[in-house]
């Protein structure tokens, strides 16, 4: 018998980081579910950990990649293995509220839609970098009221994370028919949002906080030190995502095409800002900004020079042209002379 919900959880080297995620699923007041863990080529003891979870709950299953294939592909594999009427995505270091599935089920009984959007909270993990979290606390984010959620995502009015929605099985099946997976760990949420919302005819809103996004553990951890090499790898994923969105839109969602280039620029600007926000090595700051000094990312580069560098180097740390010269990073485009 088909379960009502399939919950898809990508896993990569998450030993010791999933107890709350799994416990929250087991505590759900609505029990008609299956869980598909996708072990994406973990190199630690994650597979053994997942097998132990499955041994204790026959609703749990494992799909496995022999080698790491990226978060985007892990979610694709989970979708292939899902058998539920409705599908949810959960990151392995996050968790659902205990009554999340019951509330979603009740809402869908009232209003059957292809995609149901709900609220989430942003919480910091215990002991997460105090320099980052100082003065900040948990934040609740309620679902945006909009007639066109995909347009809101493309215009940066709504975040694209796939885990804040519940998807009807016909949406998942149509998406699987229309796309081929590829390696992508950055901007994969944007990619899947374009695909899944384009495959849906209706959507609804459940104004409840049902998902807890944990910043500072496992998949949700962001490093405070970004190298040019890391940014290059991230940009390769972004380029893959944008190229595949462009290809999909040309066939199935022509109206999306006019938003793609602007979305690409905003993603690149996000990468730039995250990379330099806590950086204290000024040579690295300059190298990171220089990375975007290309024809393709000219607008990102100009933002970096005129805004990010001005704040980071000129205002925050009072770095002058002479100091940059002494650091061995003379670069005439940064000059304030």
Question: Rounded CA gap, 50 and 324, in Å?
Answer: 51
DSSP state for residue 43 in the 8-state scheme: S
Residue 224's pLDDT is what? Answer: 53
Residue 192's pLDDT is what? Answer: 98
Provide the domain limits for residue 94: 5-220
| Long-range own/partner contacts, residues 143-152 (CB < 8 A, 24 or more apart) | 143/117, 143/118, 143/119, 143/205, 143/206, 143/207, 144/117, 145/205, 149/115, 149/117, 149/197, 149/203, 150/193, 150/194, 150/197, 150/198, 150/256, 151/259
270 and 211 both lie in a single domain: no
Q: Which residue has the higher pLDDT, 295 or 221?
A: 295
What is the distance between the terminal CA atoms of the chain, rounded to a whole angstrom?
Answer: 73
Q: Across all residues in the chain, what is the average pLDDT?
A: 89
308 and 262 both lie in a single domain: yes
Contact yes or no for 257/151 (Cβ under 8 A)? no
Residue 133's pLDDT is what? Answer: 41
Strand partners, 120: 141, 211
Q: Identify the CA nearest to 289 among candidates 280, 276, 299.
A: 276
Residue 332's pLDDT is what? Answer: 65
Q: pLDDT tier at 139 (50, 70, 90 boundaries)?
A: very high
117 and 177 both lie in a single domain: yes
Residue 221's pLDDT is what? Answer: 47
Helix (H, G, I), strand (E, B) or coil at 32: coil
The mean pLDDT value for 206-215 works out to 96
Phi, psi (5° rounding) for residue 74?
-60, -40
175 and 315 both lie in a single domain: no
The mean pLDDT value for 214-243 works out to 80
The mean pLDDT value for 16-37 works out to 97
160 and 71 both lie in a single domain: yes
- Boundary-marking domain end, from 186, 220, 254: 220
Residue 131's pLDDT is what? Answer: 41
Q: pLDDT tier at 20 (50, 70, 90 boundaries)?
A: very high
Strand partners, 209: 119
259 and 177 both lie in a single domain: no
Q: What is the residue whose two structure tokens read 């606390």?
A: 137
Phi, psi (5° rounding) for residue 106?
-65, -40
- Boundary-marking domain end, from 187, 220, 253: 220
Structure tokens, 277: 């926000």
Q: What is the DSSP string of 263-301?
A: HHHHHHHHHHHHHHTT---HHHHHHHHHHT-SSTTHHHH
Residue 300's pLDDT is what? Answer: 86
Q: pLDDT tier at 311 (50, 70, 90 boundaries)?
A: low
User: How many C-beta atoms surround the C-beta of residue 52 within 10 A?
Assistant: 11
| Long-range own/partner contacts, residues 149-157 (CB < 8 A, 24 or more apart) | 149/115, 149/117, 149/197, 149/203, 150/193, 150/194, 150/197, 150/198, 150/256, 151/259, 153/190, 153/193, 153/194, 153/197, 154/194, 154/256, 154/259, 154/260, 154/262, 154/263, 155/259, 156/263, 156/266
269 and 193 both lie in a single domain: no
% of the chain with per-residue pLDDT over 90: 71
131 and 168 both lie in a single domain: yes
**Count of domains in the chain?**
2
Q: What is the residue whose two structure tokens read 């347009």?
A: 151
Q: Which residue has the higher pLDDT, 61 or 313?
A: 61
Q: Which residue has the higher pLDDT, 50 or 136?
A: 50
Structure tokens, 257: 């095409």
Contact yes or no for 61/30 (Cβ under 8 A)? no
- Boundary-marking domain end, from 166, 189, 220: 220
Which of 134-138, 258-262, 288-292, 314-318 bottoms out in mean pLDDT, i.e. has the lowest?
134-138
Residue 335's pLDDT is what? Answer: 60
Strands 165-168 and 115-124: antiparallel
Q: Identify the CA nearest to 115 among candidates 123, 124, 107, 126.
A: 107
232 and 110 both lie in a single domain: no
216 and 325 both lie in a single domain: no
- Tens of pLDDT, residue by residue over 167-198, are 999 999 999 999 999 999 999 999 999 999 99
In the Cβ-directed half-sphere of 15, how many Cα atoms lie within 13 Å? 10
pTM: 0.89
């Amino acid at each position: 018998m088909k379960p009502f919900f399939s919950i898809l959880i990508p896993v990569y080297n998450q030993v010791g980081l999933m107890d709350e995620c799994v416990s929250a699923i087991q505590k759900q007041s609505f029990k008609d579910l299956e869980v598909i863990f996708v072990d994406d080529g973990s190199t630690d003891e994650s597979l053994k950990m997942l097998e132990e979870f499955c041994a204790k709950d026959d609703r749990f299953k494992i799909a496995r990649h022999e080698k790491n294939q990226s978060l985007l592909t892990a979610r694709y594999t989970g979708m292939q293995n899902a058998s539920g009427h409705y599908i949810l995505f959960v990151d392995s270091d996050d968790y659902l509220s205990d009554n999340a599935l019951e509330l979603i089920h009740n809402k869908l009984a009232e209003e059957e839609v292809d995609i149901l959007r709900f609220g989430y909270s942003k919480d910091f993990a215990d002991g997460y970098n105090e320099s980052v979290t100082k003065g900040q606390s948990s934040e609740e984010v309620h679902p945006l009221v909009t007639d066109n959620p995909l347009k809101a995502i493309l215009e940066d009015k709504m975040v694209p994370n796939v885990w804040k929605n519940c998807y009807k099985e016909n949406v998942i099946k149509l998406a699987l028919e229309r796309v081929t997976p590829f390696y992508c760990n950055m901007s994969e949420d944007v990619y899947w949002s374009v695909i899944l919302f384009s495959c849906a005819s209706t959507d609804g809103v459940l104004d409840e906080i049902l998902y807890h996004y944990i910043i500072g553990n496992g998949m949700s951890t962001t490093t405070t030190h970004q190298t040019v090499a890391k940014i290059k790898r991230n940009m390769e994923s972004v380029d893959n995502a944008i190229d595949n969105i462009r290809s999909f839109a040309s066939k199935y969602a022509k109206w999306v095409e006019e938003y793609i280039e602007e979305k690409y620029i905003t993603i690149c600007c996000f990468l730039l800002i995250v990379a330099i926000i806590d950086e204290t090595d000024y040579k690295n700051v300059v190298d990171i900004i220089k990375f975007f000094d290309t024809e393709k990312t000219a607008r990102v580069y100009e933002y970096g020079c005129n805004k990010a560098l001005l704040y980071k180097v000129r205002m925050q740390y009072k770095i002058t042209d002479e100091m940059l010269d002494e650091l061995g990073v003379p670069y005439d485009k940064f000059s304030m002379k």
